[in-house]
Chains A and B, each alone.
Chain A
């Protein structure tokens, strides 16, 4: 197997993450208006980015699975779903932690936050469907749900954008926007690279596990058939 490559990649990821942590906590200057809390930005946004890589990947993998019924596609689908959910959880937890001291509110029902929450709900229901299907995870049902869910996420974003304008919407900028210090951009990009690598690593890891699991299930099925003779 490509475990040497995996180990090398894992080490590189670790290095990037450590570097990212240093830059985020120490290397980048403290932001003028928000103070130290702003440093959450260096983790929050990269995690959101990874989530927005994973979920569309799951969407495409689900479509591909329904088209070709390829077990590898299903393994990839469940991996991207889980890893996406991990990062989605982090986004939903770190966001309010950043929001409260800076904007005074834990939460608001704007398009971005609500869509993220709904995506989280959809993917939790996706994993629950896999877990509670009779006879083991049913990849066809899960793939169908994923397709419904992702299309729905688009509708959620639109619905909030157009139908929730009664409340004043605090503007969540991408972070420090006025006169962005180049050292901040540097810290940001290092962490973007680090978390992307981490996302890839975790999907790779989970995918490998799923493939092995699939082979074990196959072996069990063979054994059952063989035993019957």
Chain B
């Protein structure tokens, strides 16, 4: 994730789980970026990251430019290098 930071990008994980659950997950996986709690799935819905059942999360990655527009959008979990390259 240092690659994100070197590219001037602040990464966030987004998941419906509560903040407490996130904290233990971060510890477990040694993530060094914050995980945002999205309990009502409002963020996932806004970013079209919900599955058809309206509950499941579809793995998706976005990069948002400083002007608030989408610079990169892809399903799945693309390598950080690819995300950074496309967003630059």
Q: A and B: real partners?
A: no
Chain A residues in contact with chain B, CB under 8 A?
Answer: none
